[in-house]
Chains A and B, each alone.
Chain A
Amino acid sequence: GAVVSQHPSRVICKSGTSVKIECRSLDFQATTMFWYRQFPKQSLMLMATSNEGSKATYEQGVEKDKFLINHASLTLSTLTVTSAHPEDSSFYICSARSGRGITEAFFGQGTRLTVV
């Protein structure tokens, strides 16, 4: 199957700083990518839909000014957690679907963010 690469896999940052997470589709072009957050022992929660060349669409309750999403090319989307706080510590996962027909979604390996 197609490959979605996420970087970094783990990051520890100080409270108040910003952290950027990259999501790349390695062997296909993704006009749309999705960002999820997962807390321990919970399911994945969709945060936003990232659209190449346009603004992201955020799910209800997700602060767009705190979670900045940029989708500058067909193979790269980034999520920046701004002014991170300990409660932002979580597992962040991106996914992408190839653009034709009925497709499956491919997921990155996730990023474990710890804010201290």
Chain B
Amino acid sequence: DAKTTQPTSMDCAEGRAANLPCNHSTISGNEYVYWYRQIHSQGPQYIIHGLKNNETNEMASLIITEDRKSSTLILPHATLRDTAVYYCIRNYGGATNKLIFGTGTLLAVQP
């Protein structure tokens, strides 16, 4: 049980920001929120993770609500190569903790 809820699919225009929501209302206090994406026929790629504070890296920004029940992954300027399935995963983060994938969101970036 992935214990996160994401929309099945979303569209975004090329060059615009893509905002991908995730609901994790039962997240534990020390569980992190991880985001991965999978481009067709490839292994998943790590994007970003966070606990309480908003995070930003060269790929994306992660906005976590104050109550930590939901989060949003933001791709600031989506390109066609960002078309992928995006997975939001809650996890304790240690080396032995397995990642359980839900169904994810298929983001289609349109030209």
Contact = CB atoms under 8 A, between A and B. Distances in A.
Contact of B93 (A49, A102, A107): A102
Contacts of B97: 97
B23 to A, nearest CB: 17
Interface residues on B, range: 20 to 34
Given A99-B95, A103-B93, A104-B46, A43 B103 contact: yes
Contacts of A93: 43-44
Nearest to A109: B43
A110 B42 contact: yes
Contact of A44 (B44, B49, B94, B96): B44
Interface in A1-38: 1, 4, 6, 30-32, 34, 36
15 contacts: A31-B95, A44-B38, A44-B44, A46-B98, A46-B100, A49-B98, A93-B43, A102-B49, A102-B94, A103-B94, A105-B36, A105-B99, A107-B43, A109-B43, A110-B43
